[in-house]
Amino acid sequence: MNTKYIFITGGVVSGLGKGITASALGRLLKNRGYKVINQKFDPYINVDPGTMNPKEHGEVFVTDDGAETDLDLGHYERFTDVNLTTSCSVSSGKIYQSVINKERKGDYLGKTVQVIPHVTNEIKENIYSFEGQADIVITELGGTIGDIEGLAFVEAIRQVGLEKKPEDVLYIHVTLLPYISGSCELKSKPTQHSVKELQSFGIKPDILVCRSEIDIPVEIREKLALFCNVRPENVIPNLTAENLYAVPLMLEKQGLAKAVCKQLHLENKEPQNEEWEKMIQNIRNLRGEVSIALVGKYMQLQDAYLSVVESLRHGGFANGVKVNIGFINSEKINEENVKETLKGYDGILVPGGFGNRGIDGKITTIKYARENNIPFLGICLGMQMAVVEFARNVLGLKDASSAEFSSTTKNPVIHIMETQKSVTEKGGTMRLGAYPCIIKKETLAYKIYGEENISERHRHRFEYNNEYRERLEKAGLICSGTSPDGTLVEIVENEKHPFFIAGQFHPEFKSRPNKPHPLFVGLIKAAKTNKNI
């Protein structure tokens, strides 16, 4: 079968959940037995979002193969359970970098290098890189149609429509139908304008996915079809769902996957949606709740911790409880207010981060969790701070710190990785992607994972300093997971505490709603026990 290409563009406003539409469609097609790969195009000039502040762009999602990518890849992976790769996240910066490198090498043989065809060819190479590897490639274009930065991508996807057979390419435009409450009306005009703009670039949408607060009446559907040049059955309402994971089933009901299969001449196989339906039933039937304090510093934008938040929810699904998350700014926590701030929480999570702002509050939080037997999960920087806290307050090394924050400390219990010492450029140079880890038997980690060999994704420059290993272990902070050669400490846990565990990696990138990550399942279970439910 020829690889089929679906392009998803957005119109009217940003933030319409294009990423969720792309993810949900991926799941529906996967459930029909097709091999699906999701891809994201981001028009910004950064080569990848790795150097961006999470406050601006939300979390940086890391793939198995070590790409630092847009957070939409997290949605794709959670919905489709397909592990994506570097080629699935492409920015203008990445495209231009490659074109300019080729130009410097002389690859263009004396030609004037131009947006059309050189940049658009480069973009198409990224699209076609999945030829033969997937039945269907779903490519989402970031931003809204008409953005200056996105024009080269729009032109490239238009060309794909001409290069491939008509039945192998499909364009979906996601728009908004504003609801005017005074007159109880849905308005189609912004969508009409947006489609007009899309058509001015030579792209005729096959399907409109319309975000709407209420179901779309037949007359509006027909009007949209007529004015936007699509079939009435291809106007798909995308209503606000009770929860994110219910979107695929809602779009199934609205006929999205059926319309896609018809247009792409794909057999509309009976979808295997039962597992997903069962999961949604389970989410609807959650009884009881636990509260988890998420103590970090990028609190202005909750998307900065998107995968952590979703993983906590997954942990709740596995335990049959709703998880309430308190977003707590570590900069505001100190010895005086820590008890008051954290008293209502059944568990505490300190996530990853960079730079020393808010560090003291994290250490104070971890001390509070350790001393009061509150279930604790530390992630990356959270793990490093758990080691610092233990060294300071249990070993009595008062100036213990991470070399990231103090170059003068006599006790760098966290220090720079050997391989990082020669690194001078910031972009894409951390220890990134999946690495194996061996878990020691008879530890909490082993109880949680139930296996000795695991693989987790990383994104860091600093690591546990083995010079302190013996002392820390003797005092009760056990290294329960290490790299296969035993040199890199990947998991620490406190043997005197009912649930105190922290990993140098990011478990949140591997959690799925239907396959919750064991560390989050464990944390929520411990939080339930702590709350006596």
Chain residues binding ligand GLN by CB under 6 A are 352-354, 380-381, 404, 459-462
* Residue closest to ligand GLN, measured at CB: 352
Identity of the residue, 346 or 404, whose beta carbon is nearer to ligand GLN in the bound complex? 404
Residue identified by tokens 């080691």 is 387
Identity of the residue, 27 or 297, whose beta carbon is nearer to ligand GLN in the bound complex? 297
For 89-158, give the DSSP string: EEEHHHHHHHHHHHHHHTTTTTPPP-IIIIIHHHHHHHHHTTTTT-SEEEEEEPS-TT-GGGHHHHHHHH
Least gap, CB of 49 to ligand GLN (angstroms): 14
Q: What are phi and psi of 213, to 5 degrees?
A: -75, -30
Cβ–Cβ under 8 Å, residues 209 and 170 = no
Identity of the residue, 57 or 460, whose beta carbon is nearer to ligand GLN in the bound complex? 460
How far apart (Å, rounded) are the C-alpha atoms in residues 481 and 349?
19
Q: Which of 119-130 are b and which e, b meaning 16 or more Cβ less than 10 Å from the residue's Cβ?
A: bbebbbebbebb
Q: Position 259: which residue type?
A: A
Please indicate whether residue 88 is annotated as part of the active site.
no
How far apart (Å, rounded) are the C-alpha atoms in residues 161 and 150?
17
Identity of the residue, 44 or 354, whose beta carbon is nearer to ligand GLN in the bound complex? 354
Identity of the residue, 143 or 353, whose beta carbon is nearer to ligand GLN in the bound complex? 353
Please indicate whether residue 506 is annotated as part of the active site.
yes
Query: What is the four-CA torsion angle of 205, 209, 210, 212, rounded to 10 degrees?
Result: 180
Least gap, CB of 459 to ligand GLN (angstroms): 5
Least gap, CB of 59 to ligand GLN (angstroms): 10
How far apart (Å, rounded) are the C-alpha atoms in residues 469 and 466?
5
Least gap, CB of 303 to ligand GLN (angstroms): 16
Least gap, CB of 250 to ligand GLN (angstroms): 35
How far apart (Å, rounded) are the C-alpha atoms in residues 323 and 346?
10
Q: Which of 56-88 are b and which e, b meaning 16 or more Cβ less than 10 Å from the residue's Cβ?
A: ebbbbbbbbebbbbbbbbbbbbbbbebebbbbb
Identity of the residue, 223 or 460, whose beta carbon is nearer to ligand GLN in the bound complex? 460
Q: Which one of 88, 228, 380, 437 is the catalytic residue?
A: 380
CB atoms within 10 A of CB 417: 15
DSSP element (H, E) containing 464: strand 462-464
Least gap, CB of 66 to ligand GLN (angstroms): 13
Q: Which long-range contacts (CB under 8 A, 24 or more apart) does 421-425 make?
A: 423/461
Task: Give which of 241, 205, 239 is closest to 224, Cα–Cα.
Answer: 205
Residue identified by tokens 């233990």 is 390
Least gap, CB of 60 to ligand GLN (angstroms): 9
Q: Which one of 173, 314, 506, 517 is the catalytic residue?
A: 506
Please indicate whether residue 467 is annotated as part of the active site.
no
Identity of the residue, 342 or 380, whose beta carbon is nearer to ligand GLN in the bound complex? 380
How far apart (Å, rounded) are the C-alpha atoms in residues 307 and 430?
20
Least gap, CB of 111 to ligand GLN (angstroms): 42
Identity of the residue, 378 or 518, whose beta carbon is nearer to ligand GLN in the bound complex? 378
Residues annotated as catalytic are 380, 506, 508
